[in-house]
Amino acid sequence: MRPMIMKSAFLKIRLLLAVIVAVAALAATAHAAAPGITGTGTSGTFNLTAQTAYLTQPDGQSIYSWGYGCSTAPASTNYAPAAITTGFCSTMQVPGPTLIVTEGQTVTVNLANSLPASAGNTSILFPGFQVTTTGGVSGLLTQEAAPGGSVTYSFVASTPGTHSYYSGTQGDLQIEMGLYGAVIVLPANVPTACSSGLAASNLAAEAHWGEKDFRLASAAFDHAKTCYDREYLFQFSEIDPRIHLLAQEQVATAGNCTAGAPGCSLQVPTEPYHPAYFMINGRSMPDDMDPNYAYQYPHQPYNGNPHLHPGETVLLRIIGQGRWQHPFHEHANHVRILARDGNLILSQSDSTLLAGPALFTTTTTPGVTMDGLFYYTGRGLNWDMYGHNPKSGDPTATLGCTPDANGYNTGDPTAINYYEWCQDHNKPLQTSPFGDVASDGPATLPDPNILTNGAWYGGSPYLGPDATGRAVGATGVTPPSGTIANSPGGEAGFAFMWHSHNEREITTNNAFPGGMMMMMLVDSREFQIDESN
């Protein structure tokens, strides 16, 4: 069965790429978020274990790995965001459980070492925090848990933002094997600006269309310029299967040896380094487009499949967890960096202003974390991407576009074209359309009867499930909205490929496409973005 599954999956990706080229409609049921667990009690206690398991890859391989997991399953109230009710924390996962805490909170992490005795000691580093330890044995960088033993780490979550954690023991091997994860520190003082103005209007727009609020907070930092509408966490890493195979073989050879006894240790060379798998949140394309907590990935619970509506401010939490630097490119806009390693980047002359760069690629340096803001409005497309949507309940009256001070239609959060760039309102794309949009556009769209692009090709350059009909009328020739897997009555948005600019990293074991790649979809307002799965 596995070869057939892989053939189908890779075919799906080829067809998805055709969607990207066409700025087309794409069906999807899985949406990313920043899922994780909160600590028990007011002290924020996490009970973790380091264990072995196998990670699956799109080419059918199962890779022997090590990872952090929950010693005991957290209570349902300890999964965040609260809207996600299907969460699980297995005894091992890659990346490790995302630890979600609040600024100023005292965090306690109890680590049990359940790795094979021959793997030796293990530990956790929490860079950026002042950590105290209890128990364990002395190691080079921190106290360690011996095989079968445990160690406790405590620190105050002093800095909001996105942080990483990873093994501080033989890092060239243990981090490579999967011992890493993320810490998200939420601000203790959420700015009042995040509950008023456009920030509140975007939330009202989502509520009008029946969407829930999947944010962990409404701001990334204690700063009025860090409000956001959605958030996604992306951890980038790679795997050299040769290292994992050698570790697996040596563990099997050592058997149930006694820790510290002669021969009860691993001698796995980690150089030269030749990774063949490149992952986002522990998965490669297309697996990263499956839901969070999908049952087929018991040890890879987090996905990578961002969605947004035009005008929404999206917080991207980015961590370089591997050994290589990955030049990751987010199509459709630059990413404005807010902070690195939890340090907010402010203007030297005015602390009320952010001063982070707008990056064409968010280069994920090993061990470095970034928080950045991304948005898409369609500004400057030079055509009406809404197909001039008719007013709700009155198909004979079309929506207007009243520009605010910045040129956007923000007066009515319930409007389907909320946040439209009004300068492009009612501008045609086609040479001879027949619908609401006037004629004389610059483009002649392809004949929808030509199936060269395959069954996933959506073709319509307009947002919304009914945008094709709205734009060209019943006699128009624009390729239809929707896809074979999602009819025009469902989702129809713009798809953009987010991927590594190192071309080798968008392969899976040297087979394209795969690896460090995912899809970002801009959805029309009437499509509900459900991040609970």
Structure token digits, residue 248: 């697996």
Measured distance CA(184)–CA(103) in Å, rounded: 10
Measured distance CA(157)–CA(458) in Å, rounded: 47
Measured distance CA(507)–CA(520) in Å, rounded: 18
DSSP conformation class of 409: B
Measured distance CA(43)–CA(398) in Å, rounded: 55
Q: Chain centroid to CA 193: how far?
A: 26
DSSP string over 334-363: -EEEEEETTEE-B-SS-TTSB---EESEEE
**∠ CA 281-156-160, rounded to 5°:** 55
Residues of the chain with pLDDT under 50: 1-30, 453-457, 484-485
Q: What is the pLDDT at residue 528?
A: 85
Q: What is the pLDDT at residue 1?
A: 36
Q: What is the pLDDT at residue 206?
A: 87
Structure token digits, residue 523: 């959805």
Q: What is the pLDDT at residue 114?
A: 97
Q: Check: CB of residue 307 under 8 Å from CB of residue 28.
A: yes
Q: Check: CB of residue 328 under 8 Å from CB of residue 306.
A: no
Q: Check: CB of residue 510 under 8 Å from CB of residue 516.
A: no
Token pair 């306690």 is found at 108
Measured distance CA(231)–CA(318) in Å, rounded: 11
Paired strand residues for 185 = 101, 161
Measured distance CA(419)–CA(410) in Å, rounded: 5
Q: What is the pLDDT at residue 430?
A: 77
Measured distance CA(198)–CA(211) in Å, rounded: 17
Measured distance CA(533)–CA(522) in Å, rounded: 18
The full length of the chain comes to 533
Q: What is the pLDDT at residue 162?
A: 97
- State the maximum Cα–Cα separation within the chain, in Å, rounded to a whole number: 84
Q: Residues 444-496: pLDDT tens digits?
A: 776 655 555 444 445 578 888 777 776 666 666 666 665 544 555 567 788 89
Measured distance CA(170)–CA(379) in Å, rounded: 49
Q: Residues 30-77: pLDDT tens digits?
A: 456 899 999 887 778 999 999 999 999 999 999 999 999 999 889 888
pTM equals 0.90
Structure token digits, residue 105: 């909170």
Smallest CA-to-CA distance from 200 within 172, 227, 164, 169 is with 227
Measured distance CA(162)–CA(59) in Å, rounded: 31
DSSP conformation class of 152: E
Measured distance CA(228)–CA(220) in Å, rounded: 7
Q: Check: CB of residue 329 under 8 Å from CB of residue 500.
A: yes
Residue 369 CA neighbour count, 13 Å, CB half? 28
Q: Check: CB of residue 173 under 8 Å from CB of residue 60.
A: no
Residue 121 CA neighbour count, 13 Å, CB half? 19
Q: Check: CB of residue 117 under 8 Å from CB of residue 264.
A: yes
Structure token digits, residue 319: 């961590």
Measured distance CA(80)–CA(185) in Å, rounded: 13
**HEC assignment per residue over 475-513:** CCCCCCCCECCECCCCCCCEEEEEEECCHHHHCECCECC
